[in-house]
Chain A
Amino acid sequence: MAIEVRIPTILRSYTGGAKVVDGAGDTLGDLLVDLDSRHAGLRGRLVTEAGALHRFVNVYVNDEDVRFLGALDAKLSDGDSVTILPAVAGGAFGFAAAAAISQHSAAAAATSSHSAAAAATSSHSAAAAATSSHGAAAAAVSQRSAAAAAR
């Protein structure tokens, strides 16, 4: 048995696109060295030159954050599951209730029209603030929204 490691999208260039890879090691540090032997460069994206976990990287052993389990010294056992994730504000409850985002194909039409509405609102804001330089930012947002709607 080995340790299963889940790789986030942005790091799959190091694993040949693989979403899950196997590794071995008694600690997280050992595991990352082992992984790097087959997926060169991966460790360098997760560990700083000073030898600490990168600030914007979160690593979980069986769903628990390793920073509270000894970080790179966290003990591992065969059968453990290790998940690597980037730190994002999307994990923020400040954005709580932003439910019902339509990412499904079934809801694609709805998303599209909603985005169009979004762009329209944004333009409105831009118009409202046209006396200041804010108009530029809002308009830029609006264009990006429109672009998103067009996809």
Chain B
Amino acid sequence: MARYDSLLDACGGTPLVGLPRLSPTVPDGAPPVRLWAKLEDRNPTGSIKDRAALFMVRAAEEAGRLRTGDTILEPTSGNTGISLAMVAKLRGYRLVCVMPENVSTERVQLLRMYGAEIIFSPAVGGSNQAVATAKQISAEHPDWVMLYQYGNEANARAHYETTGPELLHDLPTITHFVAGLGTTGTLMGTGRYLREKVDGIQVVAAEPRYGEVVYGLRNIDEGYVPELYDASVLSRRFSVGTRDAVLRTRQLVEVEGIFAGFSTGAILHAALAVAHEAVRDGRRADVAFVVCDGGWKYLSTGAYGGTLADAEDALEGQLWA
């Protein structure tokens, strides 16, 4: 289908493309091991977050929490903010984003262009602080609606109802699903759906491992685990460092022509790890992974060029995923 009544109706239904060049070579006679990329950059604002934003807003509307002209409040500096800003604009809401003050100017410009207002939280506390600040503001503004993607079941449900079924329809032989672990919505929703439908499915998480400054906690008790997270949905969880994420991001565009952001590189790194294990064990594998967004928003980091060490250096201290 290529015609839609509105931009919101064009959310999801993204292509799943094979990666014949990046898929590992298997010995003669061994079962095939194939990599597949789910191109979530083909969503209305260019990221997988459009799905969650649309579902969270719809759920709030259906529950009577959100009426035309209301204000939505959300701690986000990234793709969710952009997705929510687009949905809010088209559905008639005001959006206030809370984000760390040290995000890129592109981010600020994009959000304002889509009509979002921005409240900055101190850089020192990172995104934990943005969440805390948003919760504080929310408490002071009971009339503002915080969708709170980290704990909103509609975030995971978006993937249970759309991403999961799309994957199974396009790849009935799927053996592994690999995605990024942030709010955990993608993995929880898609993972639950696939576990119900596919015997032995492996649900694999890739989480970014940042430079030290990003983990700027004073003690362990300041840690944070999203309310949506249920470890029993996952089969494995990989921590992927900056260098590996950059390497894979570059490899993806060089070898397969897919220009993605660095979070996708981290996911591809984990996908390749499970694919190579399957080759080693002589098992058939159809590994589907998520391309979260395109690389456009990250060009200013300079991490697409130069040596890997330069790129690692350029991303040090950044929330690159």
Give the B-binding residues of A (Cβ under 8 A). 8-11, 45, 54-58, 60, 63-65, 67-68, 83, 85-104, 111, 114-115, 118-119, 121-122, 125, 128-129, 132-134, 136-138, 141-142, 144-145, 147-149
In the complex, how many angstroms separate the beta carbon of A36 from the nearest chain B beta carbon?
16
Residue of chain B at shortest CB distance from A8: B215
In the complex, what residues of B have CB within 8 A of residue A103's CB? 102, 211, 213, 316-318
Q: Can you identify 28 A-B contacts, CB atoms within 8 angstroms?
A: A45-B220, A54-B220, A57-B220, A63-B238, A68-B234, A86-B217, A86-B222, A88-B126, A88-B217, A92-B150, A95-B76, A96-B182, A96-B293, A96-B319, A98-B104, A98-B319, A100-B106, A100-B318, A103-B211, A104-B314, A114-B105, A119-B120, A121-B120, A122-B119, A132-B140, A137-B137, A145-B120, A149-B101
In the complex, how many angstroms separate the beta carbon of B33 from the nearest chain A beta carbon?
19
Q: How far is the CA of A145 from the CA of B127 in the complex (A)?
A: 14
In the complex, how many angstroms separate the beta carbon of B239 from the nearest chain A beta carbon?
5
Interface Cβ pair total, 8 Å cutoff:
249
In the complex, what residues of B have CB within 8 A of residue A11's CB? 220
Complex partner residue of A55 from B118, B225, B319, CB under 8 angstroms: B225
Whether B78 is near chain A, meaning CB under 8 Å from some CB there, is: yes
Give the A-binding residues of B (Cβ under 8 A). 47, 49, 75-80, 82, 96, 99-107, 117-124, 126-128, 130-131, 133, 136-137, 140-141, 149-150, 180-183, 186, 205, 207-226, 231, 234-241, 261-263, 292-293, 297-298, 300-301, 314-321
Complex partner residue of A68 from B137, B207, B237, CB under 8 angstroms: B237
Complex partner residue of B100 from A68, A98, A147, CB under 8 angstroms: A98
Decide if B105 touches A56 in the complex (CB within 8 Å): no
In the complex, how many angstroms separate the beta carbon of B283 from the nearest chain A beta carbon?
18
Complex partner residue of B301 from A89, A99, A121, A149, CB under 8 angstroms: A99
Decide if A98 touches B183 in the complex (CB within 8 Å): no
Known contacts A56-B223, A89-B128, A145-B101; A122/B120 CB under 8 A: yes
Decide if A93 touches B236 in the complex (CB within 8 Å): no
Known contacts A55-B225, A63-B238; A96/B321 CB under 8 A: yes
In the complex, what residues of B have CB within 8 A of residue A99's CB? 103-104, 107, 261-262, 297-298, 300-301, 315, 318-320
Residue of chain A at shortest CB distance from B155: A94
In the complex, what residues of B have CB within 8 A of residue A97's CB? 47, 77-79, 82, 107, 261, 293, 297-298
> What 11 additional pairs, Cβ within 8 angstroms, besides A98-B104, A103-B213, A142-B120?
A54-B220, A57-B223, A63-B240, A65-B237, A91-B209, A96-B49, A96-B263, A97-B79, A103-B318, A141-B119, A148-B101
Decide if B104 touches A56 in the complex (CB within 8 Å): no
In the complex, how many angstroms separate the beta carbon of B77 from the nearest chain A beta carbon?
4
Complex partner residue of A88 from B224, B316, B320, CB under 8 angstroms: B224
B contacts with A: majority SS: mixed
Known contacts A8-B215, A125-B117; A100/B225 CB under 8 A: no
Decide if B318 touches A136 in the complex (CB within 8 Å): no
- Tell which of B49, B119, B141 has the most Cβ of chain A within 10 Å: B119
Known contacts A54-B220, A100-B298, A101-B317; A67/B149 CB under 8 A: no
In the complex, how many angstroms separate the beta carbon of B145 from the nearest chain A beta carbon?
14
Decide if B150 touches A94 in the complex (CB within 8 Å): yes
Known contacts A92-B127, A145-B122; A56/B221 CB under 8 A: yes
In the complex, what residues of A have CB within 8 A of residue B79's CB? 93, 96-97
Q: How far is the CA of A63 from the CA of B100 in the complex (A)?
A: 28
In the complex, how many angstroms separate the beta carbon of A20 from the nearest chain B beta carbon?
13
Decide if A67 touches B231 in the complex (CB within 8 Å): yes
Q: How far is the CA of A134 from the CA of B131 in the complex (A)?
A: 16
Decide if A93 touches B107 in the complex (CB within 8 Å): no
Residue of chain A at shortest CB distance from B80: A94
- Tell which of A64, A99, A104 has the most Cβ of chain B within 10 Å: A99
Decide if A141 touches B122 in the complex (CB within 8 Å): yes
In the complex, what residues of A have CB within 8 A of residue B297's CB? 97, 99
Known contacts A10-B217, A56-B223, A98-B318; A118/B101 CB under 8 A: yes
